[in-house]
A and B are shown apart, each in its own frame.
Chain A
Amino acid sequence: MADLLNEGGRSLLLGNEAIVRGLIEAGAGFASTYPGTPSSEIGNILEKISSDAGMYFEFSTNEKVAMEVSAAAASSGVRSFVFMKHVGLNVAADPMMTLAYSGVRAGMLILSADDPSAHSSQNEQDNRYYSTLALLPMMEPSTPAEAKDMVAEAYRVSEELGLPLLFRTTTRMNHARGVVRFGPRRAVKAKGHFDKDVAKFVNVPAFAKLNRKILLEKYAKAQEMSEASDLNFEEGAGEVGIIVSGVSYAYVKEFVSGASILKLGFTNPLPERRIAEFVRSKKAVIVVEELEPFLEDQVLRICGQNGISVPVYGKRTGHLPRAWEYSPDVLKGISGIVKVAEFPEPMKVPDVVLPSRPPTLCAGCPHRGMYAAAKKAVGKTDVVYCSDIGCYTLGVQPPFSTADFIICMGGGAGAAGGFDAVTDQRAIAFMGDSTFFHAGVPPLVNALFNGHRIVMVILDNRTTAMTGHQPNPGTGRDFGGVSTDAIDIEALVKGIGVGFVESVNPYDVKKATQVFKDALAYDGVAVIISKCPCPLELKKSKKLVVGECKVDSTVCNLCGTCLKTIACPALFKKDGRISPDPVQCIGCGMCASVCPRGAIEVRR
């Protein structure tokens, strides 16, 4: 990782690193998040360097809380930064909508990392609409270098308007890399004071009605700032105009020639007069943007209001796709209107049957053991496996197939209650420790309150694994000069009155299977806590004690039970033998635990 606290110089930075550098240069004093790809690296970096940067940073228990703590900071005069993945903003939307009414006293940026093509997500929603829904100003960078500089400008605009600003990125910005030059750093203000103002900060109906008018006035001012902003600029020349924002600008700039480009960085409110003027002088206009026709529809409206009859091409005309992220290839769709670079004929993928390579649970992943136990205990019982967001989502693949229903963080446990109420199927909910603290407690309370008979399995691997091993309330915090105790999941669950609570070691598949059977037989809400640290996290923190599994081929009869029930990537069937791969095997012993003949020995 580049040293983001350096004075001057240049570095090849990931978009997320560039954004952190932007925060440092802008003197941000407060940051909060709930980890989510493609924004996660920002948190991992801040965990390491926020103290040295003079900034307070926290992993909040969920995005809503992250929004609230950052709102308090900005309301107390400290520049704050809250960041999350796109679906996280759904969770945080409630405080955001009214925070727009209150406004803020220091700059506040809300970073939404959208994920076109859903590389690591359950949908590809376009969060630009949140800016028009909440009436908040919005900016969208196109490259890492621009993102770094845009952060400072975004704080300036946010402060001048007294409004939080939506800083919208996408995967190919967050996870792109480019050369970034370091600029001077503004002094950090990390402590503030909350000066009370009930009419501003307490949106009871009487004040909310007034604050709505104030918000609309600020929005009109934002419109003028957008008209004048250097983040919206024209370049190139030609009869055809292209209106573009985000990473699509990089594709257009490099692979389209002979067109006049209006590049938009300040994308809500749009610079309407500027757009009208731009379009009026063109023979035709193309709007290039990923996902929804957010700009395109507004351009069409602006044309309508200004009596402009220049044709506008894009998604509405079928020239550009609405689904999935863009790449230079999508420009072929507009090659009849404007000059697009010619790309060579791609080679054919040879006609060979290639094995699939989906992402998979790691060798020694404790989730494998719990899923094996669940399958064994459930047998032929008609169940609905409700799953959730995390590594354990990968249980959807065979041989486990332990995910029948996934919608959102914490959603599996909520849905399990519904399945119990509406079907005669047994409802099982799997959820990770971090997800449990994020959104798992309310559905568990709901199941108790409404008498849903569910089995909830909390896969406590002592970390937020999928996003790169961030701490969570179940691990306690130990960075940035703050140390807190871990919250005991078992005590919490017992404390709210769950009648069946058992903790198991998932590496002991036999024992876990028995506990699972007991839970299925229990008439009420049953909670199983699968306790075992993520080996990858242990490896990172150099705490992993690596053992080794050995198969005695004189005892093994090649029944394949280990392969079929655990499917560990470290177990191979090769040359008529089952043999563990010594490089991948950590000696967890799950395979030994399921072997009916005791042919596998674990050496530690």
Chain B
Amino acid sequence: MKYTVQIVGVGGQGVLLASMVLGNAAMDMGFDVAMSEVHGMAQRGGSVLSTVRFGDGVVSPLEAAGSADMIMGFEPVETCRNLSLGNRDTVVLMNMDPVLPSMVAAGFEEYPSLDLLKERVSSENPNTITIDATDIAVKAGKAVAANAVMIGAVGAVKGFPIPKDVLLKALMSQVPEKFRELNAKAFEMGYSAIA
């Protein structure tokens, strides 16, 4: 078994934390793990991509185009932009909360409608799951826990090779103690939203 998750989003959304949680959970399962992260210039509000690969004989930190088993999209436009990382059988988990690029904020470019993005992604990919991770996180206590919601949702995806309790344990080990309760709650709510 080999499994690849491509995590896409915007710098500051917690893409790196999510990749650390998935990677550590995979290590705890005894899988070989190889990951690749984006640091540096692109972090300043730019698009970010983390690759998490695990399974037997995994060495490569990058995956071929079209080969993702799951695209974990933290942001609708970024999910759409990176769809070629997967194929029609890929599970696309798509957070519907937009982060407006500065050129959109300043009125120089337009952000497409969320309904249009959802419709186009779903028509290309029959396994698309949408989630309002930020809304759920707010209900759990704080918007910043949206990444914990997303990780919980991943745990509920049918066929995902890492069980829920292992993911939750890895999440708890990655967040500071004072945020554990919030993150655990957000994780559970994310799980329930998909399961």
Contact = CB atoms under 8 A, between A and B. Distances in A.
A348 B58 CA distance: 27
A12 B36 CA distance: 12
Contact of B90 (A347, A394, A466): A347
B34 interface: yes
A328 B107 contact: no
A313 B95 CA distance: 45
B62 A350 contact: no
B105 to A, nearest CB: 5
Contacts of B111: 355
Contact of A175 (B23, B38, B121): B38
A354 B77 contact: yes
A350 B109 contact: no
Interface stretch (B43-51, B147-155, B158-166, B185-193): B43-51
Contacts of B63: 327-328
A120 B42 contact: yes
Contacts of B82: 349
B101 interface: yes
A179 B27 contact: yes
B61 interface: yes
A540 interface: no
B168 interface: no
A360 B77 contact: no
A312 to B, nearest CB: 24
Given A38-B40, A120-B40, A178-B35, A346 B45 contact: no
Contacts, number: 197
Contact of B41 (A120, A247, A250, A571): A120
B83 A349 contact: yes
A571 B37 CA distance: 29
A399 B33 contact: no
B41 A12 contact: no
A361 interface: yes
Interface residues of A, number: 64
B11 A352 contact: no
- Measured as residues with beta carbon below 8 angstroms from the partner, the interface class of chain B is 35 or more
B84 A348 contact: yes
Contact of A359 (B41, B61, B105, B108): B41
A351 B120 contact: yes
Interface in B41-93: 41-47, 57-67, 77-78, 80-90
B125 interface: yes
Interface of B is mostly: mixed
Interface string B83-126: 11111111000000000111111111111100011001101110
B34 A250 contact: yes
A175 B43 CA distance: 13
B120 A359 contact: no
Contacts of B46: 357-360
A329 B85 CA distance: 11
A143 B59 contact: yes
A449 B183 CA distance: 61
A87 B7 CA distance: 30
A328 B80 contact: no
A506 to B, nearest CB: 18
Interface stretch (A56-64, A218-226, A560-568): A560-568
Interface in B1-56: 10-11, 19-20, 23-24, 27, 32-47
Contacts of A343: 64-67
A136 B39 CA distance: 30
Given A177-B33, A352-B112, A346 B40 contact: no
B100 to A, nearest CB: 7
Contacts of A570: 105
Contacts of B34: 143, 176-178, 250
A362 to B, nearest CB: 6
A254 B54 CA distance: 12
Interface string A399-427: 10000000000000000000000000000
Given A251-B60, A253-B59, A357-B46, A37 B84 contact: no
Contacts of A344: 66-67, 87, 89
Of the candidates A12, A398, A399, the one having the most CB atoms from chain B within 10 angstroms of its own CB is A12
Interface in A212-241: none
B166 to A, nearest CB: 14
Contact of A327 (B47, B62, B108): B62
A346 B65 contact: yes
Contacts of A564: 106
Contact of B45 (A37, A40, A250, A569): A569
Interface string A85-120: 000000000000000000000000000000000011
Contacts of A353: 110, 112
A12 B20 contact: yes
Interface of A: 10, 12, 14, 37-38, 40-41, 119-120, 143, 172, 175-179, 247, 250-251, 253-255, 327-329, 341, 343-362, 391, 394, 398-399, 466-467, 560, 563-564, 567-573, 581, 583
20 contacts: A10-B27, A12-B27, A143-B34, A178-B33, A329-B65, A344-B67, A344-B89, A345-B87, A345-B88, A346-B66, A347-B66, A347-B88, A351-B120, A355-B101, A356-B101, A398-B108, A560-B107, A570-B105, A572-B100, A573-B107
Interface of B: 10-11, 19-20, 23-24, 27, 32-47, 57-67, 77-78, 80-90, 100-112, 116-117, 120-121, 123-125, 143
Given A120-B41, A179-B33, A354-B112, 11 more contacts: A175-B37, A255-B64, A329-B65, A349-B81, A352-B112, A357-B78, A362-B44, A362-B45, A466-B40, A563-B106, A569-B102
